[in-house]
Structures are given as C-alpha cells and as structure tokens.
Structure 1
Amino acid sequence: MKVIELELEGLNCAGCAAKIEKFSNEIEGVSSAQLDFVTKKLKINIINDNDEDDIKGNIKKFVKKVEPEVKVLDINANHAHSHEHNHDHGKADKKDIIRIGISLILFIIPNLLKLEGNIRFITYLLSYLIVGYDVIIRAIKNVAAGIQFDENFLMTLATFGAFIIGEYPEGVAVMLFYQVGEMFQGMAVNHSRKSITALLDIKPDYANLIAEDEITVVNPTDVAIGDYILIKPGEKVPLDGIVVEGESTIDTSNITGESVPRNIREGDHIISGVVNNHGLLKVQVEKEFGESTVSKILDLVENASGKKAPTENFITKFASIYTPVVVFSALIIGILPPILAFGDLRDWAYRAFIFLVISCPCALVISIPLGFFGGIGGASKSGILIKGGNYLEALNDVETIVFDKTGTITKGTFKVTKIFNYDDYSKEEVLELAAYGEAFSNHPIGKSIVESYDKEIQREYIKDYKEISGKGIEAKIDGNTILLGNKDLLVGNGVEIEEVDSIGTTVYISEGNKHIGTIIVSDELKENTAEDIGRLKKLGIKETIMLSGDNQETAEKVGKLAGLDKVYGDLLPQDKVNAFEDILSKKTNSKVIFVGDGVNDAPVLARADIGIAMGALGSDAAIEASDIVIMTDEIGKIATAIKIAKNTKKIVTQNIILALAIKLIVLVLGAFGIATMWAAVFADVGVSIIAILNSIRALKVEK
C-alpha cells in the first residue's frame, strides 16, 4: 500500500475540503483518504501503485470543479515543498476588492438618484452580476457535477429568489456581504494558519558543509551521516550530531520551551533546531535530515491534526445532517404555509431564502480544527509534542496519572552513597567485585557502580555472565561465583543476608555462598517534584500512582517525598503491565495517563489511554510508543499540557455555542418574519470570522 500526499494550495473553504475528502475516499483503488484543512494536505492510501496517476488525475479534476483557484501540488514529487511552502492565498485579491467596490457603487446609485422601473432593475442586476458572477458560475458547474447543497448553489438560489420576489436591493446586498465576508474569512483562516505555523518556524534553511577544507552552503537534506558541518554564532543547528570542536551556549527554547541557555562543548551531542549563541562549533552529523529531531517534530505536529478529536468527528457528522435539514426546512417554509393559505407566497419565500443562506455550517467546520491545531502548536512551543487532537481533548478527562520512578519521578542519575562490608572483606574489595559483576550491564545502577570503582576492569577474568530479569546478575569472576542484586536473588540461591534499610537502591553482593557486602545506590528526586504533583492535584487529578522495581519500602519512601497517593514496588517488567492493567480496569469512567521514559516502558505507554514519554527528545522508541512527548524531563510540563487542553476545549466549546446559538436565533426569527437576509449572512460568514479569530487564542499558553 502506498501513500500519496497532495497539498491544496489556496484552500480556505472548509465545506469544499469536506467534499474533496469524501470524493477522494470514494475513488476506486483508494483504501482511505484524509484531508487536513489546517495544513491543506490530502493523504491518500492507495491499494495498487499502478493506479497512482489515475487517482491523482481524478482528484485534480474534482478540485478544479469545486475550487477552481486551488492548486493541487504533489508533495511526494517535491518533498521539500511541504515544509517550505509559503504562498499566501489568504490575502485580499486586488481584483476582488475592485469588483466589490464597483458593485457597491452601483448598489448605492439607485437610492442616491431615486431610480425607478427598468433602469433601477438593470443597475441592481449589473451590481449583482459583477460581485457574484464567480459564485453563480461555480454553482452551475457544481450542480452539473452532481454536487448538492453546495454553498455557492445555496447562495445563488437565495439571491436569485430575492430578485424574483422583487427584493433587488436585498439580493445584491446579500451577495455583497457574502463576498466581503468570504474575503475576510479567507484572511482570518490564513492569519490563523500563519500564527500557528509561526510557532513551528524551527526548520533550518541551510548547512555549512565542510569538505576538503572548504565550506559550502547546502540544503540540510544534502548532508550525509559522517559529514562535518560548521555552525556559526546565531545560526540554527541544521542536523543532529556530536560536537567535535568548539564550545558555546545554545538556545533550546525553539525545541524545549526553556529560555535558559545550555552549555555545550566537545563530545556533547547537539540536536537540530536549537540556536548557537556565540561560539563556533564543528559538528559531525549523526542523522540524515529526515531522521533528525527537527524533522520529527515538524512531521509530528503537522500530522497531529490528522488524528481528529471526538468533538471534531461529531461536528463533521453534525454538519452533514445540519445542512440538508435546514434546506428542507426552507423548502417546507417556502411552500407549505402559502398552500395552506397562511400568508403571502412572497413573504414566506423570503423567509425560506433566509434559511438557505444560513444552512452552511462553516463557522463550526473551520474553527474547531483550527482551535485544536492551535492548542497543539502552542504546546509544541512549550516543549510538549501532542500527536493528535484526540489526545489533546482526552487530557480533559484524566483523573489518574501513573508514573514510572527512575527518570520520571527521580533524576535517573545514580551514585554509590554507602558501602557495607562483612567477613574480612574491605569496602574497596566489595566495590571491586561489584564493579566486575556489573561490567557488562547497561542498567543505570550497574553503570554507577562501575563509575564509582573508576579503575580499568580486566574483563578476561569475567566468565559465565548472565542477567536474571528483575533480580540481578550472576557471574564467575576469577573462578568464584558472584551474585549481586536484590534480596530475592541471594535468598533464592541459599545465601543468608544482613538486610539494610535505605531510601536508595540496595545491591547485595555474595561470593560463593557468603554475603560479603552491600552497596547503596541513591537516586534523587527531580527538582520541584512535590510542587508539580500538587499542581496536578489542583487541576483535578484525583489519584497519582508510582510503579517501581525497587522494594516496596524504598518505593514508598520516594512516593511519600514526592507526595504521591499510592505506590507499587517490587515490580518486574511484566508486573508493571499487569499492575497498570489492574489500575485501568478500575477507572472505566475516566482516562488514565502513564508517564515513563518511553524506551523501557514502551508496553505500558502503548497500553495507557494517554502515554507520555519524559525527557525523550530524539528517542525513536519514545516517539513511537507514546501519545505525548515532553521534550524536557519536567513533570511540571504535564500540568502545562492539561492547562492547554482545558483552554482549547473551552475555546472550541465557545465556538460551538456561539455558532449554533446565533444560527438558531436567526433561523427562528427568520421563520417568524423578523430577521432579514442581512442577519442570515452575518450568521453564516460573520460568525465564521469571529469563531476563527477566537480559535487563535488557543495558541496562548499559561505557564
């Protein structure tokens, strides 16, 4: 199965977007198609690669019918276009302003000169045709193409009707107001899109490639792994790599939302998108641009609006029902009362035309995806990647958060803080045996013991090394069997131990069948952890839980310091999944978040209603397994994400209530003959503009 990506340049009509998406899904050979109105990208999954050209051709023909001015661009053929495209079709076109101006002058003349009879009619008709000819032409083409209930058709029918019943000024005024409204609506949509995409202006434009002692300015996509690039002061880092020469500070606010500069020197890893403040840095590239951090962030955020929130899906379904219901109501209002002799045909027809004008649900269809995408864009600026509007909305329903301990609640930087020695073994000997035992371990605790030993390890003395999941390590060192790990490992092998009470991780060591020593490895709580947990409680989180592989007593001590409600200790990797499943089964009416490092906790992250990966910038496993990626390791960012979600939900709800309330009021007033067609146009395009501008507020992030 192949994915085709098309960009619909100049698409500002949400109703047209829905029609294009529907048509694309109905094409033979297409398994699914999704059009993101915010990014104007249409993604089509095709079954057979051989059908690609025919499918593209069909879509282009249909787009030409629905929106003649929209250009269909093939992103697959020119991938660089997808991030660099910046054509501005939301600006008011000079030709449109001129014809609206001419039409307005002609509209004023009959009243100004007190024209009567045929001259009056011709002047209004000329004004109407000048301002509305494109709407009329599109309406005729769409009817011929079998497109029903199109906005152009409904507006043409309503204004034609106004002329037929002798309401010439009303017919012209409605078309004028509609065209001006559409122009401002296009500008508002474009302004909203630009406000959102401005937050994501992290893509580097070039790279200084070093080749044969010469520096060449190239596109970042042309740089290969292993190449060397030079990053000058003030420049964005174009690709992920390792600093091989130089020292500087970097501004990471583009990526993490943090304003404090970070020091960087030779040997440090550096990610794309950050800004070099003052030093000259030579970097060896570790990832191609397509796999770089900045590329992943852009793709994640741009694709996020493809995963629609439940509210968006509801409005899409509602809109497909709303328009036909209002149109048929207009038909009944225009025909039934006059037949039953309840009034004048002209009067009831006028009321029916009001229904036709107000039957397009543009305010809802446009503003809601813009609102959710605004929330996602604002979150990304704060260093929080939310992979879909569905996850953003789900944050409103969270009552329980489950945390992993190491690297989430604690810093994950272990240090040997205490050594106990027994039976003529010195502390140095205990540490040496432990270091040899942990020589092949990738676990942070094992690494901390090796670092504390700080001497060269002769690995040829280590034989029969094996890790015992969730317990520790067994190995033969210089011919002697060594066990090091938790209490269960040694007791299970018949070794009597002297237990030690500590808040840190306890590593028991035995040689032969004798307990020779104990090492305490401590991890620190992250700064402000207790305060951050308190902030989550204030936002409506009812229960905070920690899952840990540490013994229950140690885990409970950490949990108490952090201010957590419940702690599960002594958990093997598979036990974490079982414990989380148990928590999920008890929370059927609310959402449960799991927060972990995204690599070791991938199974639980995937199982959670919302999986949040902490401090996982650049980690493929984290981005793949989680629904939200926090690009720093701060628990406080979870509270920020929930605040953004609540603010976005509030704005979206405001738009729904505003649009539906005003439309309903005007519909009722129109049915009773109180509202005019002017009011109907305001309830259509006027409310759309207000809702779109309101959606921009979702970009604002409260700390």
Structure 2
Amino acid sequence: MTTSSDFDAQTYRVKGFSCANCAKTFENNVKDLPGVYDAKVNFGASKITVSGEVSIDALEKAGAFEGLKLSVDGIKKASQTTETPEVLPWYQQYETELFGVLFLVLGIVSSVMSGHSHPMTAMLILVSSATLGLQLFKSGMKNLTRFTFDMRTLMTVAVIGGVLIGEWLEVGIVVMLFRVSELLEAYSMDRARQSIASLVNMAPTQAQIRRPSGDEMVDVDEIQIGDVMVVKPGEKLAMDGVIIEGTSLINQAAITGESMPEEKVPGDDVYAGTLNTDALLLVQVTKRVEDTTLQKIIHLVEEAQGEKAPAERFIDAFAKVYTPMIMLISVVVMSVPPLVFNQDFSTWFYQGLAILIVGCPCALVVSTPISIVSAIGNAAKRGVLIKGGVHLETLGRIRAIAFDKTGTLTKGEPFVTDTVMMDGVNEIDVFRIVYSLEKDTTHPLAKALTSKAEALIDPTMAFPLKAITSLPGRGIKGEDQGVIYTVESPKRFMDSLSPSVSEAIQALETKGQTVVVVTKDTQILAYMAIADEVHENARETLRQLHDLGVKKTVMLTGDNHRAATDIANRLGIDDVMSELLPEDKLAVIEQLTTEYQYVAMVGDGVNDAPAMAKASVGIAMGAKGTDTALETADMALMTDDLTLLSFAVRLSRQSLRIIKANVTFSLLIKLVALLLVIPGWLTLWIAIVSDIGATLLVSLNSMRLMKVKP
C-alpha cells in the first residue's frame, strides 16, 4: 500500500492568501487532488508542503477560488532573478476592486434617483457584486453543498437572502465591505511576514569563487564545501565559512540583530547574509547553501509561524462551534417572531440576515495569528529565535528563570589568574598533565587551562593518556602506565590539605574564582585559580526581569559554593544552587516547576540539555552558528547579549495581553451588535461595518508587536 512516506515532500510558496479559513480550504482542496497523499498549509509563512505527485497547475487550480499563485520553495539562482519584477501602481493592482466600487457608486446614484428596487439599480449592483464577490460566491456555494460553515458560507447565505427580499443596495455594500475586509486581513498578514521576507533576501544568490583559472561568479547552489569565496568591501557573504586571509569588520545584524560590526580575523567563522565593511576577505566555505545559519534561522522561524499557539488552537475549535451557532440563532430570529408572535416576516428575515453577517468570526480568527507572526518575526529580526507560538505564549507566563553560570551570566571566556605548585613539583610537568587531559575538551574552564599550558610547553610534550573520562560536575581524569591523573574540584581533598593551602583556596573562591587541583594518584601536585568576567549587562537584565513579573531567579552551577555566591550577590540573583551535577540541575528545575508552574532554563543548549528539556521553555544563550542549540532549544539568543532575554520576555508578555484584548474585543463587538436585534436596529451595513471595524482594529493592535524594541 502506498503512503505519504513513500514520496518526498515538496514545499511551495503561496501568493494570494486573504484569510486563515481560505488557507484551510486550499489545504483541503489539495488533499482531494489525485496523486496527493497529504498536504499542510503554513498560513503564517504562506507555504504549503505536499506529499505526492502533483503539478503546480493542479495546485493553482485547487486555489482558483482565491486566485492563488504558487512557486517552488528554495534558493533561487541568480540567472532566474536577473529581471526585477515590475511593481504595478496601486490603481493597477486593485483595478478589479476599483471597477466594482465604480458600479456600486453608480448603483447608489440609481437608487437615489430611481429607487432601490429599480431594474437599473439591481443591474448595477449585480455587476458590482459579481466583480467584487465572485470568488466569495463560488467558495460559499461549494461550502453550502458540503455543509461546511465558515465566513464565506455566512456571507453567501446573507447575500442570497438580501437578493430574495430585494435589498439590492445593502447587498452591494455588504459585498464591497467584505472584500475590503479580506484585503485588510491580507495586508496585515503580509506586513507581519515582512520581517522574515527581509531575511530571505539578505544573502546574495551568487558569490565570487577563486578557481585555478581565475575568479568566477557562481550560483550559491553550485558552491561546494571547501571552495574559496572572495568577498570585497561592501559586499554581503553568500555562504557560511571561515576566514583564511584578511581582517575586516563584519556587520552581523542578519544573524544576531546587532548592528555594530565585529572585527573578524583569519580563523574566525563568518555567516551568510552578513556584511563585509572595510577589507578584502578570502573565506573558505564550510556549509552548503541550504545548511547555512541564515537558512536554518529562516526555516525554523517559518516553521514557528506555522505552529499554532494554544490560544490559536482554542480559537479554531471555538469557531467550529461558533459559526453553526450563529446560523441557528439567525434561523430562530427569522422564524420565531413571525410564527409565534405574528410579527412581520420580512422585518425579522432581514434581522436574521444581519445576524449572519455580524456573526462572521473574521476578527476572532485573525486576532491570534497576526499577533504570533508579528512577534516571532520581530524577535528573529532582533536576534531572538522563538520556535513556535506555543513557546511564545509559555514565555509570557514564566514566573521563575534558572541560569547556568559559565557562558550565560559570565562571558564564558575564563582565564587562569593564579598557579600554585606544591613543594618540589615542577611547573612544566604539571602543565604537561593539564594539557594532555584538557586539549580535546570544549568546556570553557578547560580552554582556559589549555591556553595557559600552551604558553608554557610545546604541544608535542603531551602524555599519551588513555581512558580519558569526564567526571561530571568535578573535572576530568586519564591514565598513563597505571598512574591516574586528574584535574578536578578540590572539594574531596579539603580535609587532607594543610590549613594554609585550604585557607588560600577558600580565599580565592570567596573572590568568585574557580579553583581546580592537579593530582597524580590522589597526590595533589598544584592548584590553579580561574576567573571569568560577568556580563556587563547581566545585573540590569535581572532587574528588568523582576520588573516584568519574574518572581524567582536562580543560578545553577557545578562550581563551588563560595565562587557561585559571590557572583550571585554581584548580580542580584535571588538564589544560587552550586556544586551541581547534571541530574541535580534537572531536579532543581522539577522543584521550581512544582512551585512556580512556568519555569525557563537558560544555558548553552548542549551541556544543560536535560534541564532545558525539562523546563517550560529551554533558552540557548549565544547560539549563533550553533546547530545543536538551534535544533534543541525552544528559544535561542543569537548573541551573548543578555538584554535580549528581557526583551523576549517583555515581547511575549505583550503578545499575551494583545491576544487576550483582541479576543475579548472581538466577542464584545459581536455581542453588542447582536443586542441591536432586540429593538430591530441592526442593519446589513451596520453588521458588516462592525465586522470590518473589529477586524481592522485587532489587526492594527496585533501589528504593534512589530514595533517592540529591546
């Protein structure tokens, strides 16, 4: 039996979506196509992913009710984009709508001069309605035959009813205003998507590659790993790579959101989409175009925009019940007063039609997705990657935040400050041991020790140690000819140290330094103190988090208690948990979750993976170029700038407030309009104006999230 897994999924970009319901209709139409086994629309990113064998023509036919246009998603070759598409003047872009409005105006003039039921009035309104609402009627009639109830179904029934009772002028106004509503919703979503669209266009589609025969321009999808890219001053990098020649300032705003350039020298990593400002660089390509950091960010953010937040899923479920309920209320209003109370049928039939229109859940349906897309797009543009509406909402509810110390609250660039040898111990021998144990380790403390060792010995002097093993939360050990060497915390040796050495170690730790001892078969050869600077903006960030309503901040570290306490006191952290193993950090997160329900864990995305996975939101710090952090964390700060964390929390809290305000306002405006039925004041045009007004206001309110700044 053939299944969707037997086919590669193909993603297409879609142009022309006007509403979320229309996107769902398109998805269902595509699923019904021969050869298609599955389809999923990402409305936030304007994409559809199709499993099966189908042509673009067939897909566009499935979207003909909306006039959708599709193109294959992917990196375009420069040869395909040499011609800049012509941007039409606004009056040409909307000539159909202008044509329809012209006939509506003529219909209004005819109504004033000849009466609203005059054949000329009816004809002009029919032409206007057909021009403005043809797709509406096609979709609405198809929905009626399938017993599918959405906004277009309600509008179609209301228009048909209006025609039957001869309310030509109001029918024309209703159709026109509904079309305006669709255009407003499409415009709002397009504006919200622009943050990601700007990222998509950030990297060039060609690069100058150095060949033995000379330099040549090559399309990015033909560039191979190992090729050497020539990047001139003022040019953007097309690919990720490592500098092999040249020194220059690089503007990395596309990746980090930080507009201040950073100096890059040979050996430094550079990224696609960043700008070389002032010198020629030779860059060796390290990733294919589809694997660049910029492409990963774009892909993850577009996926995030398509992932429904809890509020959005609730709205969708509510709308499925709400729409049939509105139709039932409309039928009751049309039938009960005439049949039970002997009221005028035409009056209450008209009121029932008005209920159908005012009941359109346009504002309710758009209240959440525009907010989510706006917030996630704004965050990505400023260097914060939030991987879905669910994480955006959860972050807005966070009440406690746990921080890893090294590389999160501190800069993660420690250095050795003190080295003390025990009596009769040779310094060179000690650093041979240190280098042999730590040279292949990526921990920041190990790098500090290795750097110190490399300044004193030749790397060829390293021992051929065997069975090198990490000691979680303590250090590292290795063996040579039956002798065990370690570099570890002095904790388990404190009782055996002389009082003077013990006091010296404690004094260093009290100053916030981390101390390690070097041992040979449990004999201490030396101890070393390592310092790491705290981030200059860490204290201010923690203050901002408390102002935003975070009740508890905790520092989690494997470091000794005295050093950890010193840093916590300097930064104003509420609590500190020290000398922790990875499983201890996990237990702390579980305890915090029990107490505060919503807890975030900020770490490097790798070493703290268990605790980050257990937290309500796992946040990777300084994840630029780090594939593991981008893939595993719920949220990633692309630089080491901690102020991005308080920005993200503020943005998410504002998103929650705006979503709640939008939903409340959308429902209230419906309730007020429905209450107008009681005195008989509700008219078709009042109904549609109230619906459009609500849609416009919630859209504008949601788009405010694009303006939130760090």
TM-score of the alignment, normalized to the shorter chain, above 0.5: yes
Partner letter of residue 456 of structure 1? D
Partner letter of residue 422 of structure 1? M
User: Is contact 1:35–1:43 with CA below 8 Å preserved after alignment?
Assistant: yes
SS in 1 for 2:641: coil
Partner letter of residue 371 of structure 2? G
Partner letter of residue 610 of structure 2? P
- The aligned runs of 1:120-135 (5 Å cut-off) are 121-122=122-123, 124-125=125-126, 128-129=129-130, 131-135=132-136
Change (3 A) 1:163 1:605: same
Q: After alignment, is 25-34 or 232-241 more displaced? A: 25-34
**1: CA distance, partners of 2:292 / 2:554:** 34
**1: CA distance, partners of 2:481 / 2:607:** 32
- The aligned runs of 1:64-103 (5 Å cut-off) are 64=64, 66-67=65-66, 69-75=67-73, 80=76, 92-103=93-104
- The aligned runs of 1:294-443 (5 Å cut-off) are 294-425=294-425, 430-431=430-431, 433-443=433-443
Equivalence for 2:48: 42
**2: CA distance, partners of 1:620 / 1:566:** 31
SS in 2 for 1:670: coil
Partner letter of residue 309 of structure 1? A
Equivalence for 1:485: 488
Equivalence for 1:520: 529
Match of 2:13 among 7, 17, 26: 7
**2: CA distance, partners of 1:88 / 1:316:** 36
**1: CA distance, partners of 2:177 / 2:408:** 56
SS in 2 for 1:243: strand
Change (3 A) 1:310 1:127: closer
User: Is contact 1:463–1:477 with CA below 8 Å preserved after alignment?
Assistant: yes
Partner letter of residue 518 of structure 1? Y
- The aligned runs of 1:466-481 (5 Å cut-off) are 466-470=468-472, 471-475=474-478
Cα deviation for residue 163 of structure 1 reads 3.2
Match of 2:564 among 555, 564, 567: 555
User: Is contact 2:125–2:168 with CA below 8 Å preserved after alignment?
Assistant: yes
Cα deviation for residue 631 of structure 1 reads 0.5
User: Is contact 1:483–1:490 with CA below 8 Å preserved after alignment?
Assistant: no
Give deviations 1:431-459, integer Å, cap 9, x for gaps. Answer: 45544554454433233223223120444
Match of 1:702 among 689, 705, 709: 709
Partner letter of residue 349 of structure 1? F
Equivalence for 2:612: 605
Partner letter of residue 684 of structure 2? M
User: Is contact 1:439–1:457 with CA below 8 Å preserved after alignment?
Assistant: no
Partner letter of residue 515 of structure 2? T
SS in 1 for 2:676: helix
Equivalence for 2:592: 583
**1: CA distance, partners of 2:519 / 2:166:** 102
Q: Percent identity?
A: 31
User: Is contact 1:508–1:518 with CA below 8 Å preserved after alignment?
Assistant: yes
Equivalence for 1:105: 106
Change (3 A) 1:519 1:137: closer
Whether 1:218 and 2:215 are equivalent positions in the alignment is: no
Cα deviation for residue 406 of structure 1 reads 1.0
Give deviations 1:583-622, integer Å, cap 9, x for gaps. Answer: 33333xx311011111222222222110000011111111
Partner letter of residue 649 of structure 1? L
**2: CA distance, partners of 1:213 / 1:159:** 70
User: Is contact 1:384–1:631 with CA below 8 Å preserved after alignment?
Assistant: yes
Give deviations 1:140-196, integer Å, cap 9, x for gaps. Answer: 34444x253344443233233223323332223322333344344444443443366
Give deviations 1:346-373, integer Å, cap 9, x for gaps. Answer: 1100100101112321222224211111
Would you say how many aligned residue pairs link Structure 1 and Structure 2?
688
**2: CA distance, partners of 1:443 / 1:133:** 64
Match of 1:675 among 672, 682, 686: 682
**2: CA distance, partners of 1:531 / 1:134:** 54
Change (3 A) 1:553 1:345: same
User: Is contact 1:203–1:295 with CA below 8 Å preserved after alignment?
Assistant: no
Give deviations 1:45-90, integer Å, cap 9, x for gaps. Answer: x5xxxxx1279998666434x43x1134454xx6649x99999999
Match of 1:546 among 543, 555, 570: 555
SS in 1 for 2:424: coil
Equivalence for 1:49: none
Partner letter of residue 174 of structure 2? V
SS in 1 for 2:368: helix
Q: After alignment, is 512-521 or 239-248 more displaced? A: 512-521
Cα deviation for residue 645 of structure 1 reads 0.8
- The aligned runs of 1:140-155 (5 Å cut-off) are 140-144=141-145, 146-155=146-155
Whether 1:565 and 2:540 are equivalent positions in the alignment is: no
Cα deviation for residue 309 of structure 1 reads 1.1
If the length of structure 1 is used for normalisation, what is the TM-score? 0.89
**1: CA distance, partners of 2:191 / 2:533:** 46
Match of 1:630 among 624, 637, 640: 637
Change (3 A) 1:418 1:340: same
Equivalence for 1:639: 646
Match of 1:20 among 16, 19, 26: 26
User: Is contact 1:547–1:571 with CA below 8 Å preserved after alignment?
Assistant: yes
Give deviations 1:191-249, integer Å, cap 9, x for gaps. Answer: 44336633664233321222224332232222110001111222221111111122211
Cα deviation for residue 376 of structure 1 reads 0.6
Cα deviation for residue 32 of structure 1 reads 6.8
**2: CA distance, partners of 1:359 / 1:19:** 20
**2: CA distance, partners of 1:657 / 1:99:** 34
User: Is contact 2:75–2:221 with CA below 8 Å preserved after alignment?
Assistant: no
Equivalence for 1:229: 229
Equivalence for 2:285: 285
User: Is contact 1:529–1:635 with CA below 8 Å preserved after alignment?
Assistant: yes
Change (3 A) 1:106 1:667: same
Partner letter of residue 563 of structure 1? G
Cα deviation for residue 280 of structure 1 reads 1.2
Cα deviation for residue 94 of structure 1 reads 1.2
Whether 1:574 and 2:583 are equivalent positions in the alignment is: yes
Partner letter of residue 487 of structure 1? P
If the length of structure 2 is used for normalisation, what is the TM-score? 0.88
**2: CA distance, partners of 1:609 / 1:506:** 33
Equivalence for 2:248: 248
Change (3 A) 1:573 1:119: closer
**2: CA distance, partners of 1:360 / 1:87:** 36
Change (3 A) 1:496 1:578: farther
**2: CA distance, partners of 1:517 / 1:131:** 84
Gaps of 5+ in 1: 47-51
User: Is contact 2:209–2:217 with CA below 8 Å preserved after alignment?
Assistant: yes
Change (3 A) 1:87 1:292: farther
User: Is contact 2:582–2:610 with CA below 8 Å preserved after alignment?
Assistant: no
User: Is contact 2:203–2:237 with CA below 8 Å preserved after alignment?
Assistant: no
User: Is contact 1:614–1:630 with CA below 8 Å preserved after alignment?
Assistant: yes
- The aligned runs of 1:528-543 (5 Å cut-off) are 528-543=537-552
Cα deviation for residue 42 of structure 1 reads 2.3
Gaps of 5+ in 2: none
**2: CA distance, partners of 1:176 / 1:433:** 81
Change (3 A) 1:89 1:487: farther
Q: After alignment, is 512-521 or 536-545 more displaced? A: 512-521
Cα deviation for residue 525 of structure 1 reads 1.2
Cα deviation for residue 329 of structure 1 reads 0.6
